[in-house]
Copies of this chain bind each other. A is one copy, B any other.
Amino acid sequence: MNDQFLTVGKSLPRIDAQVKATGEALYCSDLTLPRMLYGKILPSPLPHARIVNIDVSRARRLTGVKEIITGKDTLGLTYGRLPHIPITMDEPGLATDKVRYIGDDVAAVAAVDEEIAQEALGLIKVDYEELAALYDPICAMAPDAVKIHEVDRNIAWQVDCVYGDLEEGFRQSDHVREDEFESQSVIHCSLETRAALARYESSGKLTVWSSCQSPYYLKKDLAKLLGMTEGNVRVISPFVGGGFGGKRDLYAADFCAALLAKRTGQPVKICYTRNEEFASSRRRHAMVIKLKTGVKRDGRIMAQKASIIGDGGAYNSMGPVIIGRAGAHLTMQYKLPNFECHCYLVYTNKPVAGAFRGFGFLQACFANESQLDLIAADLGLDPIELRLKNALEAGYSHPLDFEIGSCGLKESLRIVADSPIWKTKGKGGEGRKRRGVGAAACSYICGTMGMPTAAALELHTDGTVKLIAGGVEIGQGSQTTLCQIAAEELGVAMEDIKLAGVDTDVTPIDLGSFASRTTLYAGNAVRAAAQDAKRQLFGPVAEKLEASPQDLECRHRRVYVKGSPDKGLSFAEAVRACMYSRAGMPIMGRGYYNPRVTTFDHRSLKGNVSPAYSYGAMACQVEVDSETGQIKVIHSWNAHDCGRAINPMGLSGQVEGSVGIGIGQALYEDFFFADGQTLNGSLDIYRVPTAIETPGVDTALVESIEPNGPFGAKGVSEGTQLPVAPAIANALYDALGVRVKKLPLTPHQVLKALEETKR
């Protein structure tokens, strides 16, 4: 914390807290329009089948049904997140020739109410020709496996990242070990399910209110799928009840609502029920990661060879990038002179895997941070000491050309090492319930390159500031952060900043809230816009004060001569002075941020992938019931290098969320399948941790002051979810001396591992 700032660095309440707490916030499902219809989507009951015929005639005759669409009513185009990686453009708006998973989108109905729409779904008769289905990536990669898409061995994407001299690295190593780690697929479980309301005007304008993280991307995708120009598509973001990556892609709800609205001339709303969301929304990529790592006796890492196989499900979504990020993450925390990694993204007939908080990094972090503890144990080293020995530092000349402008990894590790829970390591006792402590480190990106982000603001004569900036508020607190940045730069109070929601017809370009990019990207754009406004403000004010513009500053809602606070005007007076000056100038500031564009190669992972890298470390203390195998997390101690904490309270909240969701991944959440059918696709049997399962969380902030960040800030806390699972696995080892390499760490796995040690 720093006295030089008045708003930045302060734990201010979130600007959206009250309306969310009182239930006043309007979400997509709350919206209605005149003549609005309700839509429902028919999911495929089969994991892999050719569509022979769809007969909608009976459904059409149901009173209240207004329109039914199938793949034939679409342009037959496919969409995807990454036009520069064509293989990601593999998903149709509605299935045309084939269905590829149970839940695949086959047809959609618009009717006067949801019940009729649902009833109509039951009257649609689809003739399928069943095909062999593949559920396991290893089987799917067999040369003779049926093809889910027209790619060889169902491998959607392959990454080959090689640098240094791997053989030489292993030769120089004193100790080499090989391990295989497995992590499971989990689902986002945002409090608000996905929803869309579309309105189409006969003049050709489509407006979609959607619960999404990337309105600008959605606009692009909808325009493509509907054969419209992008300028005719407007996406408005109402309040969004959580995202976690799950609202990054276009969903059938968006597309079907839009197409049904276009065909009926009436607004159409589609809100997924929780069970529909389980059936058809994205999930995390399950991965199998093999690591062969060579170290010197003193712990220095000399070489690593990795293979990563990711289960992509039926369509790619962002899979090719995610699988690459898993590979890249292995190089992001520790100096690793020699490296070879091959990653495979594989199609299966399961629900689509896509973006999820952690985005591939998480799976690799579990593997790497688990193995490091194994190595430490092998060598008799303290696990944190081992990490400190290898940890990256700012300015490290990264073999893949990542430009590390700031790095608080070592400081984070030291804070965790100094934590009271770390001091309990090895002292878990001998009874039935034993305690253990484990640590793990993490690193994350702050957005990816090449996504310019802009912001605009206007100063009003009452001293308030209208801020228009993207970066959807998905619960992460970005609106509060952006307001703090604007308030700090303009020297006004937090409540003076009025930030409107995202609307692609109004908000300057911002590709959305993902990749922990908003604080850095939108924050820089907002700060630049505020600086731009200040420059304009200072001209006429300086004239009025008979001072030089460069001698002015704004603080405490005043504009004054530096060092002479009395020689000045209130901020509102200053704005009025400009507005009613001879030139009569309304003040509009604009700003944008785009890091110097560098190339990043998605096949080889070479090139600087992000303008900044955040770091952190965590220790978890667990209590394990050695008879039942049950793990309970007692406490977690976190250190997070966020560059600078714009809002420490918000940041702590983010870390708490990370710990909670990380515990779900580590201990509870998992999908069970039978012939491609998810068996636990509802909240009563899918185990999400509640407050009871969430431990006390202590968070220390490490402020490394990122040169590329606004006021030195970096992305916050997507990274802090990464170390939860390995820290718990390492804590389990500390408690019971058993190592589980497969997530989640269920009682069954723990007991099985205990059995194995006894053998």
Residues in B whose Cβ lies below 8 Å from that of A34: 26, 30, 32
Residues in B whose Cβ lies below 8 Å from that of A508: 458, 586, 588
**Closest approach, in angstroms, between the C-beta of A576 and any C-beta of chain B?**
11
Known: A462-B231, A464-B231, A505-B466. A454 touches B19 (CB 8 A): no
A462 to B229, Cβ gap below 8 A?
yes
A585 to B452, Cβ gap below 8 A?
yes
**Closest approach, in angstroms, between the C-beta of A260 and any C-beta of chain B?**
16
Known: A24-B201, A30-B34, A201-B19. A509 touches B586 (CB 8 A): yes
Q: How far is the CA of A460 from the CA of B588 in the complex (A)?
A: 19
Q: How far is the CA of A594 from the CA of B584 in the complex (A)?
A: 6
A231 to B460, Cβ gap below 8 A?
yes
A18 to B500, Cβ gap below 8 A?
no
B597 to A580, Cβ gap below 8 A?
yes
Q: Does A498 contact B (CB under 8 A)?
A: yes
Known: A202-B19, A202-B22. A586 touches B592 (CB 8 A): yes
Q: How far is the CA of A460 from the CA of B507 in the complex (A)?
A: 12
Q: How far is the CA of A30 from the CA of B35 in the complex (A)?
A: 10
Residues in B whose Cβ lies below 8 Å from that of A582: 596-597
CB 8 Å contact bits of A199-219 with B (1 = contact, 0 = none): 001110100000000000000
Q: Does A503 contact B (CB under 8 A)?
A: yes
- Contacting B at CB under 8 A, from A222-237, are 223, 229-232, 234
A468 to B498, Cβ gap below 8 A?
no
Residues in B whose Cβ lies below 8 Å from that of A579: 452
B456 to A588, Cβ gap below 8 A?
yes
Chain B minimum-CB-distance residue to A18: B203
Q: How far is the CA of A33 from the CA of B34 in the complex (A)?
A: 11
- Contacting B at CB under 8 A, from A411-441, are none
Q: How far is the CA of A265 from the CA of B586 in the complex (A)?
A: 34
- Contacting B at CB under 8 A, from A159-210, are 201-203, 205
Residues in B whose Cβ lies below 8 Å from that of A463: 231
DSSP class of A's interface residues: helix, strand, loop or mixed?
loop
**Closest approach, in angstroms, between the C-beta of A399 and any C-beta of chain B?**
25
Residues in B whose Cβ lies below 8 Å from that of A458: 454, 508-509
Known: A586-B592, A590-B590. A460 touches B26 (CB 8 A): no
Residues in B whose Cβ lies below 8 Å from that of A26: 33-34
Q: How far is the CA of A505 from the CA of B24 in the complex (A)?
A: 19
A452 to B592, Cβ gap below 8 A?
no
Chain B minimum-CB-distance residue to A458: B508
Q: How far is the CA of A597 from the CA of B581 in the complex (A)?
A: 8
**Closest approach, in angstroms, between the C-beta of A471 and any C-beta of chain B?**
14
Looking at the complex, which one of B33, B465, B590, B596 makes contact with A588 (CB distance below 8 Å)?
A: B590
Chain B minimum-CB-distance residue to A536: B590
Chain B minimum-CB-distance residue to A463: B231
Residues in B whose Cβ lies below 8 Å from that of A586: 452-454, 508-509, 592, 594
**Closest approach, in angstroms, between the C-beta of A586 and any C-beta of chain B?**
4
Q: Does A450 contact B (CB under 8 A)?
A: yes
Q: Does A692 contact B (CB under 8 A)?
A: no
Residues in B whose Cβ lies below 8 Å from that of A203: 15, 18-19, 24
- Contacting B at CB under 8 A, from A1-52, are 15, 18-19, 22, 24, 26, 30, 32-34
Residues in B whose Cβ lies below 8 Å from that of A505: 466, 498, 500
B583 to A594, Cβ gap below 8 A?
yes
Q: How far is the CA of A500 from the CA of B18 in the complex (A)?
A: 29
Looking at the complex, which one of B201, B231, B466 makes contact with A18 (CB distance below 8 Å)?
A: B201
B500 to A506, Cβ gap below 8 A?
yes
Q: How far is the CA of A513 from the CA of B622 in the complex (A)?
A: 67
> Number of contacting residues on A, CB 8 A?
57
Chain B minimum-CB-distance residue to A24: B201
Q: Does A698 contact B (CB under 8 A)?
A: no
Q: Does A496 contact B (CB under 8 A)?
A: yes
Residues in B whose Cβ lies below 8 Å from that of A201: 18-19, 22, 24
Looking at the complex, which one of B24, B231, B583 makes contact with A202 (CB distance below 8 Å)?
A: B24
**Closest approach, in angstroms, between the C-beta of A21 and any C-beta of chain B?**
9
**Closest approach, in angstroms, between the C-beta of A547 and any C-beta of chain B?**
23
Q: How far is the CA of A472 from the CA of B737 in the complex (A)?
A: 72
Chain B minimum-CB-distance residue to A200: B24
Known: A230-B464, A466-B505. A450 touches B584 (CB 8 A): yes
Looking at the complex, which one of B229, B452, B584, B597 makes contact with A452 (CB distance below 8 Å)?
A: B584
Q: How far is the CA of A586 from the CA of B19 in the complex (A)?
A: 33
Query: Which of A201, A232, A580, A586 is the most central at the interface, judged by chain B CB atoms within 10 Å of its CB?
Result: A586
- Contacting B at CB under 8 A, from A593-627, are 594-597
Residues in B whose Cβ lies below 8 Å from that of A230: 460, 462, 464
Residues in B whose Cβ lies below 8 Å from that of A496: 231
Q: How far is the CA of A446 from the CA of B15 in the complex (A)?
A: 41
Q: How far is the CA of A231 from the CA of B579 in the complex (A)?
A: 17
Residues in B whose Cβ lies below 8 Å from that of A500: 503, 505-506
Residues in B whose Cβ lies below 8 Å from that of A19: 201-203, 205
Q: How far is the CA of A465 from the CA of B231 in the complex (A)?
A: 8
CB 8 Å contact bits of A462-490 with B (1 = contact, 0 = none): 11111010000000000000000000000
Q: How far is the CA of A594 from the CA of B582 in the complex (A)?
A: 9
- Contacting B at CB under 8 A, from A63-115, are none
Residues in B whose Cβ lies below 8 Å from that of A464: 229-231
Residues in B whose Cβ lies below 8 Å from that of A595: 584
Q: How far is the CA of A463 from the CA of B34 in the complex (A)?
A: 32
**Closest approach, in angstroms, between the C-beta of A531 and any C-beta of chain B?**
15
Chain B minimum-CB-distance residue to A583: B594
Q: How far is the CA of A585 from the CA of B525 in the complex (A)?
A: 11
Q: How far is the CA of A498 from the CA of B500 in the complex (A)?
A: 19
Interface CB pairs A-B, < 8 A, 30: A18-B201, A19-B205, A22-B202, A24-B265, A26-B33, A32-B34, A223-B462, A229-B464, A230-B460, A231-B462, A231-B464, A231-B465, A231-B498, A232-B498, A234-B498, A452-B584, A452-B585, A452-B586, A454-B458, A454-B586, A456-B588, A458-B509, A460-B509, A466-B505, A466-B506, A468-B506, A582-B597, A585-B594, A588-B590, A588-B592
Shortest beta-carbon contacts, A-B, top 10: A231-B464, A584-B594, A18-B203, A230-B462, A454-B586, A500-B505, A588-B590, A452-B584, A452-B586, A509-B586
Known interface pairs A19-B201, A26-B34, A585-B594; 8 further A-B residue pairs with C-beta atoms within 8 A, sorted by A's residue number: A18-B202, A19-B202, A19-B203, A223-B462, A230-B464, A458-B509, A460-B509, A583-B594
